[in-house]
Amino acid sequence: MESLGQDRPITVLVVDDNAANRELAQQTLLDEGYAVVLATNGLEAIAAFSAPSSVPPDCVLLDVRMPTMDGFEACLRIREAPGGKDVPVIFLTALRDVDTFDRALEVGGDDFLTKPVRPPELLVRVKSALEIRRMRLELGEQYELMRGQRDHLMRAQLMKERLMAFVVHDLKNPVNAMDLHAQLLLRNKGLADDVRATVAQMRSEAKNLTRMISNLLDIAKADEGKLDVKLVGVEIARMVDDVLLELTPMASAHAVTLDSAIEVKSVTADRDLLWRLLANLIENAVRHTPRDGRVTVSVVEVAGEVEVAVRDTGPGVPPSMRERIFDPFVQLDAQGVHASRGGRGLGLAFCKLAATAHGGALVVDDASPGAVFRLRLPRVLPS
């Protein structure tokens, strides 16, 4: 039995109009020894505090959207009810956004749990809400400070999520639309050569932008441990050909020859991540190769692993920088070694994370002349 040093179990009031949600929360809490009181809307929740005979609940799980009276209004009223001033109120909400969070705090909420609620998370939040209340009573001012810091962190996290959602939907879509319009233009047979070249350039810039956006997103995902790898069998010769084909206009513009030597039939990898790994490495190689140079992609089997190597005939990477160039925002170009063209130093950071997420590795070596980036992928069966 969970108790607060009193001789009755801790009582949690669960307020939700959805019966299945109520039941899940109730079962989870009962299994842990809590007592549970149920309410289906805000009015019933307030009644649980106002009933003269009953003891007020020790903690409230409060749904936001409910008929009759929503969670925000109910929270305001609970704060005025007897025994409701200090009771921890945890909002349950399907909306994980800054506005809901701000509103929840404004009406006196203590925490914020996103639906669908996972039982272990629910228990942790209830426990910590009760613990925080105990500390609040004990520590007063200190508590206010800590709570302020936690709210600040939570808000920053939600802002980051909103920014990421903005990047995915609001930036990717117009870039894709631009590319589509450029493709439509290119279908026009009567287009003058110089116009055609300009439109092709627009397409290549749009692709570049999409590549950078995707790199940025995946780096953020990997930071949060959310970079998913969907392993499938990939016909590697075909993928290399397709990526090289996509980068041919850029290579031609730099007068760089693209080549491949593939000795492995298939690899086990995430198709999208592997494609972008190749595209980033080959794009870098082309950009750093002087005119009439060559970029070669080879795939061989080494000691039971697959090694994908991208080799160029450019200036190479100085030994002192061979680890650092994989850090985000690191560019040698900025130090005047090579000419920059508006990249942000995110490509290799993404590549490294994607390689690691595959259980593989990515390193750079000297190819004298030039650099060779070696991606090692373990030989595993697709799950």
Ligand X SMILES: Nc1ncnc2c1ncn2[C@@H]1O[C@H](COP(=O)(O)OP(=O)(O)OP(=O)(O)O)[C@@H](O)[C@H]1O
Give which of Mg ion, ligand X, none residue 317 binds (C-beta under 5 to 8 Å, depending on kind): ligand X
The identity of residue 118, as a single letter, is R
> 9, 71, 293, 347: which one contacts Mg ion (CB under 5 A)?
347
Rounded to a whole number of angstroms, the minimum distance from the CB of residue 318 to ligand X is: 9
Of 13 and 274, CB closest to ligand X:
274
Neighbours of 22 (CB within 10 A): 19
Angstrom distance (rounded) from CA 102 to CA 70 = 16
Question: Does 215 contact Mg ion by CB under 5 A?
Answer: no
Stretch of residues binding Mg ion (CB under 5 A), selected from 99-107, 307-315, 341-349, 369-377: 341-349
Rounded to a whole number of angstroms, the minimum distance from the CB of residue 343 to Mg ion is: 5
Q: Contacts with Mg ion: how many residues (CB under 5 A)?
A: 2
Rounded to a whole number of angstroms, the minimum distance from the CB of residue 346 to Mg ion is: 7
Rounded to a whole number of angstroms, the minimum distance from the CB of residue 351 to ligand X is: 7
Which residue has the closest beta carbon to Mg ion?
Answer: 347
Half-sphere exposure of 116 (CA within 13 A, CB side): 6
Of 212 and 278, CB closest to ligand X:
212
By the criterion CB under 6 A, which residues form the site for ligand X?
Answer: 212, 215, 280, 284-285, 288, 312, 314, 317, 325, 330-333, 338, 343-349, 371
Angstrom distance (rounded) from CA 364 to CA 73 = 59
Question: Does 284 contact Mg ion by CB under 5 A?
Answer: yes
Question: Does 314 contact Mg ion by CB under 5 A?
Answer: no
Angstrom distance (rounded) from CA 75 to CA 45 = 9
DSSP conformation letters of 56-80: PPSEEEEESS-SSS-HHHHHHHHHH
Of 40 and 284, CB closest to Mg ion:
284
Axis crossing angle, helix 71-80 with helix 42-50, rounded to the nearest 10: 10
Task: Report whether 338 contacts 284 (CB < 8 A).
Answer: no
What is the rounded end-to-end Cα distance, in angstroms, of the chain? 43
* Residues at the site binding Mg ion, with contacts judged by CB under 5 A: 284, 347
